[in-house]
């Protein structure tokens, strides 16, 4: 069984010319099969949790389907801090199990997708009167390394004030006592989710976007499927499955409510905002986890041409489908940067872009947002609906394993062991972080020949791994005056034919991250890329207009600050 699966993964190499199992041009056939066949498992929700479950289930031989109401990763899984981390502060909350699990998962996910989950050293400045003292930090980081089984050469180092300042000269020297320096990993949450669902599709899972589950179908009072609304075909259809799992993130309680099973523990949603500055305005050298004046801890992360800062953590009761950053969120983050890095002078107008997401946490009476546990929780309703919520992006694989084990038991089948720790998440993966660095160097000379710059080599390698070859080859087909436009067009072609891109938003927000990290490039390539998408996806004039309007709205929300939440 496993051998067979691994052999099928090696067939990834055929992707250049064949219709990939994850091509948007395949959608109507997928839709037909969803309607006609019966599945062992139907997953609702295409975030990291749902896509991880679909991969695990399909790899263990379950006939699996997944429906996503928007695009894959359009919920929380494109709005995180984009770290694969053990969560140092959970150690402070004595969530030892969570720290151990997420800590050890980091190295596994790095091995499965080395270009996408890269080691990143974290600096934690220690300041007079700060959240963490010198000895408690040293001890905490030692326990953290131990729980996460960090390799000897990567274990934490305690730094003097001078060493901390050498790593990050922008730090406030006054009151600085030194620093903790330890191992974490950075990622791109949306791309990780896309690679998960692409890999699930290669194992035979059928996944469709823009298709919310709108009602449950019951027989003898048990859930046996859902009615789905296909937004793109503008109709409804039934999908039948022996087991239904809801991995709907912040929307989990809505589905429990529809199932009539919303009782006992409930979600407590908290909003987290990140803001993005041009690197010249906030020239941070070193990823830093630092104290805000109110005692919360904030990340500042240099990435490509920008530095991003986050996150806020406030209880949320607004619109789940349009979560925006407020002026208060932006000012809070600017003030914490000024407090920790006084040489940096930022204004709200300097912000290039932002994103705001919701943490689907489990409510605990009397606890503030930051105190709530990030542990996941599974609910099984009397009707047989299995729901999973909470947890971390980092823990997606273990969450999936627990759910799929449970599904096997509920199906009364012998549990086939989980193999996802052996399944690479991309075709032809680069071997490790060193191989990624070598590949970036190789690409630098290649992109120079196409009139692109070193940044693009880094971007292509860390976004796509060796799939960058397909995009660079495709670029030659476009003779646009601006090479960046040709790159955008090649990415649009790749996104439609290999990554189920069904709208401009899918491409510019989640497949390429351009809305957050390269927002200016959208203006440059928009006209031509929109025309390409229109041709590939056979959009009507009406659809073309609504896609343009949607893109305007997205750019607006990423660059404006509201006085209050959307309701
Ligand atoms: C600000 C912030 C920072 C974070 N930082 C980190 C971090 O650095 N590292 C980390 O490990 N974790 C982090 N997390 C946590 C992590 O992002 C989440 O735990 C994870 O992304 C949740 O994934 P999910 O699949 O459960 O939910 P989601 O990604 O929200 O997916 C649920 C999906 O279900 C879909 N859906 C809902 N209803 C329906 C329906 N009726 N039919 C079909 N589909 C439906 C939604 O459209 C959505 O795409 C962060 C979270 C936030 C908010």
Alpha-carbon dihedral sign for residues 448, 452, 457, 460: negative
At residue 461, the pLDDT reads 98
Q: Check pocket membership of 354 for ligand 1, CB cut-off 6 A.
A: no
Q: Which atom of ligand 1 sits closest to the CA of residue 299?
A: 8
* pLDDT at residue number 366: 84
Answer yes or no: is the C-beta of 53 below 6 A from any ligand 1 atom: no
Write down the pLDDT at residue 19.
65
Instruction: Provide the whole-model pTM.
Output: 0.96
CA of 484 to the centre of ligand 1 (A): 31
Q: Residue 11 pLDDT more than 90?
A: no
Query: Residue 365 has what pLDDT?
Result: 81
CA of 391 to the centre of ligand 1 (A): 9
Question: Which protein residue has the closest C-alpha to ligand 1 atom 25?
Answer: 47
pLDDT digits (tens, 9 = 90+) for 362-375: 988 888 888 887 88
pLDDT the model gives residue 370: 81
Residue range 281-313, pLDDT digits in tens: 999 999 999 999 999 999 999 999 999 999 999
Of 110, 57, 161, 202, which is closest to residue 434 (Cα–Cα)?
A: 110
pLDDT in tens, 465-518: 999 999 999 999 998 889 999 999 999 999 999 999 999 999 999 999 999 999
What pLDDT sits at residue 20? 82
Is the model more confident about 379 or about 131?
379
Task: Encode pLDDT of 390-412 as tens digits.
Answer: 999 999 999 999 999 999 999 99
Mean pLDDT, rounded, for 52-75: 98
Q: Which two tokens stand for residue 393?
A: 């992006």
Query: 492: closest CA among 209, 75, 458, 477?
Result: 477
Tokens 């994103």 belong to 355
What pLDDT sits at residue 133?
A: 86
- Which of 299, 310, 301, 300 is closest to 333 using CA atoms? 310
Ligand 1 centroid to Cα of residue 216, in Å, is 22
Contact by Cβ (8 Å): 242, 411: yes
To test ligand 1's pocket by mutation, which of 108, 251, 375 has the most ligand atoms within 8 angstroms of CB?
A: 251
Q: What is the per-residue pLDDT for 14?
A: 41
The CB of 52 under 6 Å from ligand 1? The reply is no
> Which of the 8 DSSP states describes residue 431?
S
369 lines ligand 1 (CB under 6 A): no
Mean pLDDT, range 6-10, rounded to an integer: 38
pLDDT of 18 reads 55
pLDDT for the residue 515 = 98
């Amino acid at each position: 069984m496993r051998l067979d699966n691994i052999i099928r993964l090696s067939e990834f190499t055929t992707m250049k010319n064949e219709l990939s199992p994850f091509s948007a041009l395949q959608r109507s056939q997928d839709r037909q099969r969803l309607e006609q066949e019966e599945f062992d498992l139907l997953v609702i929700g295409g975030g990291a949790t749902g896509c991880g479950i679909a991969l695990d289930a399909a790899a263990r031989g379950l006939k699996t389907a997944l429906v996503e109401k928007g695009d894959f990763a359009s919920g929380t899984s494109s709005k995180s801090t984009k770290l694969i981390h053990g969560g140092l502060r959970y150690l402070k909350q004595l969530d030892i199990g969570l720290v151990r699990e997420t800590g050890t998962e980091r190295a596994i996910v790095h091995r499965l997708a080395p270009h996408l989950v890269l080691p990143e050293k974290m600096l934690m400045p220690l300041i007079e009167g700060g959240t963490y003292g010198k000895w408690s930090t040293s001890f905490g980081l030692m326990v953290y390394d131990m729980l996460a089984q960090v390799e000897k050469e990567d274990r934490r180092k305690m730094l003097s004030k001078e060493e901390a300042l050498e790593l990050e000269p922008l730090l406030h020297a006054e009151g600085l006592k030194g620093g903790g320096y330890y191992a974490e990993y950075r990622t791109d949450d949306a791309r990780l989710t896309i690679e998960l669902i692409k890999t699930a599709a290669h194992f035979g899972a059928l996944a469709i976007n823009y298709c919310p589950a709108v009602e449950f179908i019951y027989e003898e009072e048990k859930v046996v499927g859902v009615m789905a609304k296909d937004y793109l075909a503008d109709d409804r259809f039934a999908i039948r499955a022996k087991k239904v799992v809801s991995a709907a993130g912040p929307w989990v309680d809505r589905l429990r409510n529809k199932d009539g099973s919303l009782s006992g523990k409930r979600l407590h949603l908290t909003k987290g905002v990140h803001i993005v500055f041009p690197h010249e305005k906030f020239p941070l050298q070193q990823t830093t986890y630092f104290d805000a004046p109110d005692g919360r801890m904030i990340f500042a992360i240099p990435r490509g041409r920008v530095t991003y800062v986050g996150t806020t953590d406030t209880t949320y009761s607004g619109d789940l489908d349009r979560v925006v950053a407020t002026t208060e969120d932006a000012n809070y983050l600017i003030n914490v940067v000024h407090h920790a890095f006084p040489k940096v002078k930022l204004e709200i107008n300097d912000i290039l872009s932002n994103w705001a997401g919701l943490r689907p946490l489990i409510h605990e009476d009397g606890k503030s947002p930051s105190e709530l546990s990030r542990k996941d929780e599974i609910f099984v309703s009397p009707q047989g609906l299995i729901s999973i919520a909470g947890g971390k992006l980092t823990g997606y694989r273990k969450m999936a394993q627990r759910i799929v084990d449970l599904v096997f038991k509920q199906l009364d089948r012998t549990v086939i062991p989980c193999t996802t720790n052996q399944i690479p998440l991309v075709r032809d993966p680069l071997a490790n972080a060193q191989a990624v660095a070598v590949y970036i160097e190789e690409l630098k000379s290649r992109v120079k020949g196409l009139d692109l710059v070193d940044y693009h080599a880094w971007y292509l390698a860390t976004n796509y791994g060796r799939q960058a070859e397909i995009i660079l080859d495709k670029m030659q087909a476009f003779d646009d005056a601006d090479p960046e436009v040709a790159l955008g067009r090649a990415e649009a072609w790749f996104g439609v034919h290999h990554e189920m891109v069904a709208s401009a938003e899918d491409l510019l927000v989640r497949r390429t991250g351009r809305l957050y990290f390269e927002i200016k490039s959208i203006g440059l390539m928009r006209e031509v890329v929109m025309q390409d998408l229109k041709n590939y996806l056979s959009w009507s004039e009406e659809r073309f207009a609504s896609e343009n309007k949607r893109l305007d709205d997205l750019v607006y929300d990423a660059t404006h600050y509201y006085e209050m939440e959307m309701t």
